[in-house]
Amino acid sequence: MRPTRRHELPPDKARVHRRASRLEWLTLVYLASAIVLIRLTMGASQAMKVAWLEDMLSLIPAATFLVAARLRDRAPDAEHPYGWHRSISIAYLISSVALLVMGAVLLFDSVTKLISFEHPTIGTVTLWGHHVWLGWLMIPAAAYSAFPAMVIGRMKLPLARELHDKVLFADAKMNKADWLTGCAAIAGVLGIAYGLWWADAVAAAIISADILHDGISNVRHAFADLMDTAPTRVDGSGRDPLPARVETEVEKLAWVERASARLREEGHVYFGEVFVVPRGGRVSAQAADDVAEMLARLDWRLHDVVVVPVAALDDEDDRPSDG
């Protein structure tokens, strides 16, 4: 049995990955400080409580990215001949399910408080001998937990696209959208200040619904990856054009009559087969190996592609026929 190659990232992508890892470490440190700050100021505000929990949830994608980064580069062995590349997909699923479950729980809690007409109370604290309404401290805390994260998220997006990393992309989208969390929490606190008791629960429901939406979207994409669906773009906007490009490049070869690529995603990279119909019905093993080497140079994501000569391809769905 021939195991797959170990290293999946070429040198230029490895540098990008190291930069992404540094950003994720920065994210963990920043979020830890934001979690502490909000916890010290959140009082009885439901919106601040949900914002605090969302910040804790935001630790999961960053942490799973870093754990998966250590696992994915392990050498293939007899029990793992395909390597550990799918650790990326598993990390994506874990973070997505966490978002989905917590979003649903928080939304239920917020709506329940709204329906029960629960009036939140925010007390005062003593600072330098003066009594200060705690809400005025909540507002800068909420802003700190949201807007720096938005900047970090924007920095991660191009790296996620370059690495074809869906965990990093989901994390970046969450960070980028944190301005909504901050604005909703601030609006809830200001609503309490002006006597609008329901504003706090409504703000919490908006934040919870945003978390739930992210969870549903990411779980759907994570399951699709694990079910070996056709490869998609990192942002989920459609199918990846790489399989079609592979077929076009292989069919340019003089000895190939037709070609059909069947690829699946394994974290950053693609595994799969290219079925080729050789002209004259015969092809040498060396020619097939040359095609595999050509595809490895075509795109770094084509990590392990097997070239399979077949007698014919099914015209209806481009799968190899039994004949």
Phi, psi torsion values for 206, nearest 5 degrees: -65, -45
Q: SS3 for 313?
A: strand
What is the mean pLDDT of the segment spanning 187-211?
81
Question: What is the pLDDT confidence band of residue 123, given thresholds at 50, 70 and 90?
Answer: low
Q: What is the pLDDT of residues 75-108, one digit of tens each?
A: 777 777 777 777 777 877 887 887 788 788 778 8
Query: pLDDT tens for residues 274-311?
Result: 999 998 888 888 998 899 899 989 999 998 899 999 98
Say if residue 320's pLDDT is above 80.
no
Count the helix, strand and coil residues of the chain and give each as a percent rounded to the nearest 5.
Answer: 60, 15, 25
Pairing state between β 269-278 and 256-266? antiparallel
Residue range 131-157: average pLDDT?
86
How many Cα atoms sit within 13 Å of 299 on the Cβ side? 18
- For 168-188, write each residue's pLDDT tens digit: 888 888 787 777 778 888 888
Quick one: average pLDDT of 240-247? 94
Q: In this predicted model, which residue has the larger pLDDT, 26 or 72?
A: 26
Residues near 127 by Cβ (< 8 Å), separated by ≥ 6?
A: none
124's tokens: 């005062």
Most confident residue range from 180-194, 204-218, 235-249, 302-316:
235-249
Q: Are 38 and 45 spatial neighbours (Cβ–Cβ below 8 Å)? A: no
The residue-averaged pLDDT of 307-321 equals 70
pLDDT at residue number 60: 83
Amino acid at 253: L
Q: 15-58 pLDDT, tens per residue?
A: 999 999 999 999 999 999 999 998 888 877 777 887 888 788 88
Query: Mean pLDDT over residues 209-215, rounded?
Result: 82
Strands 130-133 and 124-127, sheet pairing: antiparallel
The b/e string for 125-159 (b: 16+ C-beta within 10 A; e otherwise) is: eeeeeeeeebbebbbebbebbbebbbebbebbbeb
* Relative orientation angle of helices 166-176 and 178-193, to the nearest 10 degrees: 30
- What's the whole-number average pLDDT of the chain? 83
How confident is residue 323, by pLDDT bands cut at 50, 70 and 90? very low
